[in-house]
Structure 1
């Protein structure tokens, strides 16, 4: 079973994402901020990461930049899931190593389509 790390400071978003991804046969771990996510990745690198941008402690972009420098950090497929929708934010995310980008609010169809595009399902 593939592993997905859901990183968002909103427990509601994490809960919604968990339900969607478990239905898609992913095993889920959660983190409330980028530092918790980085610590989780250092313990066990997931196959995929659904990542929020705006979080306390360490934001999504800082996390992604740090992740890609870690041993094995190039492996996870990273899908940003955020309210940041301008072209500059999207370009920064892709340059930092994001594989895809989803806008909030999202639903199962959107997540499924993006995960198919990047070859996770």
Structure 2
């Protein structure tokens, strides 16, 4: 499973990604909404772990944008 962790607190994002990797998943990290959009456009993630209060593109807006675009991942 491929997961994109979208979290602006770098230490927290790293801990989440580390836990996912320990569970056998591939995990990437985006620290802001703009970078998350770039990464989501470049790869098909199975799941997005999304913080709401992000710099750049707010998490709510990012969720709407991905949802209306038909992005295949589940957004958590």
Task: Report the TM-score when normalising by structure 1.
Answer: 0.59
Quote the offset at 1:69 in angstroms: 2.2
Correspondence 1:58-97 to 2 at 5 A: 58-70=57-69, 72-73=70-71, 75-79=72-76
- Gap runs ≥5 in structure 1: 80-121
1:54 alignment counterpart: 53
Tell me which structure has the larger Cα radius of gyration: 1
Superposed, 1:31-42 pairs within 5 Å as 31-42=30-41
Unaligned ranges ≥5, structure 2? none
Bigger relative contact order (CA 8 A; separation at least 6) = 2
Consecutive aligned runs of 4 or more in structure 1 exceeding 6 Å deviation: none
Give the aligned CA root-mean-square deviation in angstroms: 1.0
TM-score of the pair, normalised by structure 2: 0.92
